[in-house]
């Protein structure tokens, strides 16, 4: 049984989230404040973390940043404020998705299922092929280490997943919608402009000149591809 951590100080919301997830056969634990949520999230016991942003003791932004340093399990941020969404995107916290309050419990469950499935696919891909190389890019799917011309680069969870997908589909043009479905696993349920933001971040880390990318190319009107060298 997959285990989910809910970090939420509103008892009514936490109860709804827990009940619907348990109805879908997930094991659920609730932490009602930031410090407890961080400690439980770092325990390594959970397959997914549902994290509210406004919490007593420690805010969700800080918790997410700290969690992502230690774990790559899916993290879904929950917010009631529209301005927080811009902040989430700007900070690049490494969260996998965000959900706005009020939300439909069925949508919450669908997103949880999608992210767990995507994480399982990504884990499976790591087991299938340990070492990938395209030109000067080397990616080890077991250690999650990425090197460019011998220099190690640090990629956030979704940046890594995007690069891995493109390396496994060399020279294939993938649309933003397809990449969003494959990496975020939400069947285009959200803002696929997120793909362009993540592509730009990857380019900044792997390209000699991000304005004139050698590896990840934009095919105008179609999408992106990783060019084989």
pLDDT averaged over 10-residue windows placed end to end, the chain, 229 residues = 93 94 95 95 93 91 88 88 65 76 89 87 61 90 88 91 90 88 64 83 95 93 87
Nearest alpha carbon to residue 163 among 191, 183, 178:
183
- Write the CA distances from 92 to 77, 85, 194, integer angstroms: 12, 11, 11
pLDDT in the model for residue 151: 94
3-class state of residue 6 by DSSP: strand
How crowded is residue 70: how many other Cβ atoms within 10 Å of its Cβ?
Answer: 12
pLDDT in the model for residue 183: 83
pTM: 0.59
- Write the CA distances from 17 to 23, 61, 79, 105, integer angstroms: 10, 20, 14, 7
Q: Residue 201, class by beta-carbon neighbours within 10 Å (0-12 exposed, 13-18 middle, 19+ buried)? A: middle
pLDDT in the model for residue 193: 77
Residue whose pair of structure tokens reads 């940043």 in the numeric block: 65
pLDDT in the model for residue 103: 86
pLDDT in the model for residue 65: 86
Q: Enter the tokens of residue 42.
A: 């770092």
């Amino acid at each position: 049984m997959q285990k989910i951590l809910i970090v939420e100080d509103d008892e009514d919301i936490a109860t709804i989230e827990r009940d619907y997830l348990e109805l879908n056969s997930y094991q659920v634990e609730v932490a009602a404040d930031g410090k407890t949520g961080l400690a439980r999230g770092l325990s390594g016991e959970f397959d997914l973390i549902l994290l509210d942003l406004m919490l007593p003791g420690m805010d969700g932004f800080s918790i997410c940043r700290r969690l992502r340093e230690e774990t790559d399990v899916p993290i879904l941020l929950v917010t009631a404020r529209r301005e927080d969404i811009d902040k989430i995107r700007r900070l690049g916290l490494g969260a996998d998705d965000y959900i706005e309050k009020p939300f439909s419990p069925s949508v919450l469950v669908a997103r949880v299922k999608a992210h767990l499935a995507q994480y399982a696919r990504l884990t499976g891909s790591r087991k299938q092929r340990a070492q990938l190389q395209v030109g000067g890019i080397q990616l080890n799917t077991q250690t999650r280490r990425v090197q460019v011309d011998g220099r190690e680069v640090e990629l956030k969870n979704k940046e890594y997943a995007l690069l891995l997908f493109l390396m496994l589909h060399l020279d294939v043009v993938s649309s933003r919608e397809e990449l969003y479905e494959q990496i975020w696993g939400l069947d285009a349920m959200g803002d696929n402009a997120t793909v362009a933001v993540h592509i730009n971040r990857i380019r900044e880390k792997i390209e000699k000149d991000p304005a004139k990318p050698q590896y990840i190319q934009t095919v105008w009107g179609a999408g992106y591809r990783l060019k084989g060298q």
